[in-house]
A and B are shown apart, each in its own frame.
Chain A
Amino acid sequence: ETGVTQTPRHLVMGMTNKKSLKCEQHLGHNAMYWYKQSAKKPLELMFVYSLEERVENNSVPSRFSPECPNSSHLFLHLHTLQPEDSALYLCASSQGPPRGYGYTFGSGTRLTVV
């Protein structure tokens, strides 16, 4: 496999459930990111991992918990979410700062909280 792979593609969960989103990159990049895309809003940065260490947490509620066990894998653990958390969750990776080369994004997980 190449690029950035996200699973599952779609997820419906109740507000009391616990689920995890998975991201895997096969590009040899050393930085990984979680972004949230809601309708008509800019992509919102949630977490940044560089060399497996979390370097940024953009005031994300604790019901979202990231995990980066190695430079190729990134998880987003979800628990007791709210309906307003329904969105497209995008994982991305880069080799160092994105600068002029940007990120490589996965296809996203469409999350619906009911």
Chain B
Amino acid sequence: DQQVKQNSPSLSVQEGRISILNCDYTNSMFDYFLWYKKYPAEGPTFLISISSIKDKNEDGRFTVFLNKSAKHLSLHIVPSQPGDSAVYFCAASAEETSGSRLTFGEGTQLTVNP
């Protein structure tokens, strides 16, 4: 039972345009959602998070939107830059059921073309 899903394995956008990465979840007990970015040969690095009591969190070029009724979140990157090309993982945590762990999606490979 995969509780966090990223249905798009890859996304390609032009430099300067918006990148939108999507994530769906099934566990209504999740109360924090996070996005990680991973370059080849490196570990994932934390990008941005959002609490379930909010519907938007912004940090520079990165904005995460949460739609709790649809159990859906998205990461917007604008403007996209070639250096943003990486695999992006969505993750979630639920204090009650998982305590000290994150549940991850499969990842989406973003390619930003110059």
Q: Are A102 and B102 within 8 A (Cβ)?
A: yes
How far, in angstroms, from A103 to B39 measured CA to CA in the complex?
16
Q: Are B2 and A100 within 8 A (Cβ)?
A: no
Query: Which residues of B have CB within 8 Å of A4?
Result: 43
Interface size class of B (residues with CB under 8 A): 20 to 34
- CB nearest neighbor in A for B107: A42
Count of interface residues, chain A, beta-carbon cutoff 8 Å: 31
Q: Are A102 and B42 within 8 A (Cβ)?
A: no
Q: Are A90 and B4 within 8 A (Cβ)?
A: no
Q: Are A98 and B104 within 8 A (Cβ)?
A: no
How far, in angstroms, from A90 to B2 measured CA to CA in the complex?
20
Q: Are B43 and A56 within 8 A (Cβ)?
A: no
Question: With A98-B93, A102-B34 as given contacts, are A45 and B101 in contact (CB-CB < 8 Å)?
Answer: yes
Query: Which residues of B have CB within 8 Å of A103?
Result: 46, 102
Query: Which residues of A have CB within 8 Å of B46?
Result: 101-104
Q: Are A42 and B34 within 8 A (Cβ)?
A: no
Q: Are A97 and B99 within 8 A (Cβ)?
A: yes
How far, in angstroms, from A54 to B102 measured CA to CA in the complex?
16
Q: Are A99 and B101 within 8 A (Cβ)?
A: no
How far, in angstroms, from A33 to B44 measured CA to CA in the complex?
14
Query: Which residues of B have CB within 8 Å of A105?
Result: 36, 43-45
- CB nearest neighbor in B for A103: B102
Listed A/B pairs (5) with beta-carbon separation below 8 Å = A31-B100, A94-B100, A96-B100, A99-B93, A101-B46
- In the A-B complex, the 6 residue pairs with the closest CB atoms: A105-B43, A43-B104, A102-B46, A100-B49, A42-B104, A100-B32
Contacts A94-B100, A99-B93 aside, 16 further interface pairs with beta carbons under 8 A come to A35-B104, A42-B2, A42-B104, A42-B106, A43-B44, A45-B102, A97-B99, A99-B95, A100-B50, A101-B46, A103-B46, A105-B36, A105-B43, A105-B44, A106-B43, A107-B43
**Contact surface of A with B, Cβ cutoff 8 Å:** 4, 6, 9, 31, 33, 35, 40-43, 45, 48, 50, 55-56, 90, 92, 94, 96-108
